[in-house]
Amino acid sequence: MGSPKLVGIVLLVVGVVLLYFGYQSSQAVGNQVAEALTGRFTDETMWHLIGGAAATAAGAFLTFMKK
């Protein structure tokens, strides 16, 4: 297994974990109230979701890239 594949797997796992925490945070009562009042999630939740999506996409690309 090459180094890019290993980095890809690590990024994929980290991305999925961040997405999980972002989802859990978005379901919290405090975050639901903030979203109802402002129309958006808190900054921390958004960073978890955005970072998780980016890390998952990059990890999937590196892991499944043909080389």
Residues whose CB is less than 8 angstroms from the CB of residue 18 and which lie 6 or more positions away in sequence, other chains included: 48, 49, 51, 52, 55
**Structure confidence at residue 67 (pLDDT):** 65
pLDDT at 10: 96
Task: Specify the pLDDT at position 35.
Answer: 87
Q: Which residues of the chain have pLDDT under 70?
A: 1, 67
